Amino acid sequence: MVHYPSSDLLKELPKQFFASLVQKVGKLTAEGHDIINLGQGNPDLPTPPHIVKALQEAAVNPLHHKYSPFRGHMFLKEAVATFYEREYGVKLDPATEVAVLFGGKAGLVVLPSCLCNPGDTVLVPDPGYPDYWSGITLSRTEMHTMPLLEENQFLPVYEDIPSTVSEKAKLMFLNYPNNPTGAVATPEFFEKTVSWAGENEVCVVHDFAYGAIGFDGVKPPSFLQTEGAKDIGVEIYTLSKTFNMAGWRVGFAVGNKSVIEALELYQDHMYVSLFGAVQEAAATALLESQDCVHELRATYESRRNVFISSLHDIGWEVQSPPGSFFAWLKVPEGLTSQEFSDILMEKAHVVVAPGVGFGTHGEGYVRAGLLTSEERLREAAERIKRTSLF
């Protein structure tokens, strides 16, 4: 058999950091160990039954057995516009300000190719979602990282971006509620963002994947609620987290018309939109009762409270995240995030993600997902206690 070497471009893609984590977990599981895996971001609860039912009913419609419209069904775009006006008071033109995506990741990874030329600079949060880096490599652009530090509430400081960088920057990724830190942005921060991006002609891409998951009575704001936000950027939303639809691969981009047009043009050449029945189910999720979303948020908040208090009980002083379904936990002094993660995996059979996998400024932390039962979260804390690290 002839072996065809992969292209230089594929060789340059960033290593999938979590692939090695999955391999380690698989090895321990195969050996018969009971693993509490808090290292990944895969929702553990099922999609609400009324959404599943909508898919089942729509799947028998012969209309959906044909190609969907390349840019998605208008009924889904209209549902997105209704959802945004109801939830955030943001008015959208479904025809020009909404793009249907194969999950949020699809939009995030292709946007540098849609808007930038090789050599342009893309601003990325550090720590941040590693797939931003993939889109930068594929577009042959240059990455400049923006440190997210605890003393700044894990928000970037625009004054710290050198003018030599801002002059070349074309695109900036933000993500609040934040993966991995759990931080939530304030309206004041988004106002600063609009002002800075407008002055520097930088397109803002706000990754709003965890938009529905805010705690302590705080509803995370949409970037598009900020005056002028639609002039300078877009927001990417996914149904994966809000409605436990991760495997359904459906999301959307909303905002600036020129960016939406570029996204849709790119997708015209790549895909023939989503299965129509999935689009019907997505519209059902957006338009019908949101009780399932409120219940899910309450579940994560309860899990967060149990987990953080259990860690406090064993002497691990950590901060309680205000949003997302992740906890960002400081590593004991003297250990790297990788070393600490390895100890927890080998000695406690508890899996967390090393912070360095999210960027240089993730060092000193690990990320734990609140994606298992309260009982298992308590047990994870008890197992960690037995390592005598605290």
- Residue ranges of the domains in the chain? 8-46+292-385, 49-287
State the residue for tokens 């999301």: 251
Structure tokens at 381: 């804390």
Check residue 346 and report its DSSP letter: I
User: Which residues, in sequence order, are bridge partners of residue 102?
Assistant: none
Smallest Cα–Cα separation from 255: which of 99, 133, 141?
99
Structure tokens at 3: 């072996």
**From CA 131, how far away is CA 66, in angstroms rounded?**
32
Structure tokens at 262: 């570029």
Check residue 218 and report its DSSP letter: P
**From CA 39, how far away is CA 371, in angstroms rounded?**
9
- Cβ-Cβ contacts under 8 Å for 4 (sequence gap 6 or more): none
For residue 131, give the 3-state DSSP assignment.
helix
216: left (phi over 0), alpha (psi -120 to 50) or beta: left
pLDDT score for 386:
94
Q: What is the third-level CATH fold of 49-287?
A: Aspartate Aminotransferase; domain 2 (3.40.640)
* C-alpha of 355 from chain center: 15
State the residue for tokens 């693993």: 35
**From CA 80, how far away is CA 98, in angstroms rounded?**
8
User: Which residues, in sequence order, are bridge partners of residue 330?
Assistant: 365
Report whether 245 contacts 51 (CB < 8 A): yes
**From CA 367, how far away is CA 355, in angstroms rounded?**
6
Question: What is the torsional sign of CA 77, 81, 86, 87?
Answer: positive
pLDDT score for 22:
84
Neighbours of 253 (CB within 10 A): 25
**From CA 192, how far away is CA 18, in angstroms rounded?**
33
**E strands, 192-301, where?**
203-207, 233-238, 251-255
Structure tokens at 212: 């529905």
Report whether 223 contacts 90 (CB < 8 A): no
Angle, CA of 33, 21 and 207, to the nearest 5°: 130
Q: Which helix (H) or strand (E) holds 145?
A: strand 142-147
Angle, CA of 75, 281 and 224, to the nearest 5°: 60
Smallest Cα–Cα separation from 110: which of 86, 87, 136?
136
* Regions of the chain where pLDDT drops below 70: none
Domain 8-46+292-385: CATH superfamily, name plus number = Aspartate Aminotransferase, domain 1 (3.90.1150.10)
**From CA 253, how far away is CA 260, in angstroms rounded?**
7
> How, if at all, do strands 36-37 and 350-351 pair?
parallel
Structure tokens at 111: 């946007």
Report whether 292 contacts 153 (CB < 8 A): no
- Cβ-Cβ contacts under 8 Å for 45 (sequence gap 6 or more): 244, 296, 299
